[in-house]
A = this chain, B = another copy of it.
């Protein structure tokens, strides 16, 4: 596999490939050409081949890709061939919703703890976990070697707890807080700014469908 740097755009498309390949597997399709895949996904066959070439091409012969093999290889590249441990920091509506979302577990993302600073929430059960005091999160990360923190708490205080989690060895932040985290480069941050997504929708509604290029 190539060690070249892969562009953000290619990385962003990998989960979508996986989703379509999963659907094909469910339908019992064993082989698919880049042409047929391109028709399904509304992208060009040449983009598919270019994207796959970053990872060695997955050996398309004249008769197309092996769906099961391609699915497994992309899952491996995404890192879904091993488990990831998570904690949820912020047990409000969104934090609890994510904790209850079974699909993440099926993908190997295992939630081991959920934390909040609100005394009214601490001790309450979400799924089979008790919500713990946020001050215990850094030690929990250290003790269990937690890889990912899901940040679902208000902007105020987010930066402070993140600093402590980083000191405790957290490797990635899935950030739902409305704040840009300024962290060392080795820490991976993936932002989901829901309000900003809704505002983009609002912008396009206000300006009409042809407002984007």
Contact = CB atoms under 8 A, between A and B. Distances in A.
Given A78-B199, A84-B205, A5 B94 contact: no
Q: How many copies does the complex hold?
A: 2
A203 B14 contact: yes
A100 B95 CA distance: 12
A171 interface: yes
A197 B192 contact: yes
B93 A200 contact: no
Contact of A201 (B174, B182, B185, B197): B174
Nearest to A154: B103
Given A8-B213, A190-B201, A192-B197, 19 more contacts: A6-B212, A7-B213, A15-B200, A19-B196, A78-B199, A79-B199, A93-B97, A94-B97, A104-B195, A104-B198, A107-B198, A109-B198, A147-B205, A148-B205, A172-B204, A174-B201, A188-B201, A188-B204, A192-B192
30 contacts: A6-B207, A8-B212, A11-B212, A12-B200, A14-B199, A14-B200, A14-B203, A16-B180, A18-B199, A41-B180, A77-B203, A77-B206, A78-B199, A78-B202, A79-B199, A79-B202, A79-B203, A93-B96, A93-B98, A94-B97, A94-B101, A98-B194, A104-B195, A107-B199, A109-B198, A109-B202, A185-B209, A188-B205, A190-B197, A192-B192
B79 A205 contact: yes
A186 interface: yes
A186 B210 CA distance: 8
Q: Is the interface of A mostly helix, strand, loop or mixed?
A: helix
Contacts of A77: 203, 206
Contacts of A100: 93
A213 B77 CA distance: 17
Interface residues of A, number: 63
A209 B197 contact: no
Interface string A90-115: 00011011101101100101000000
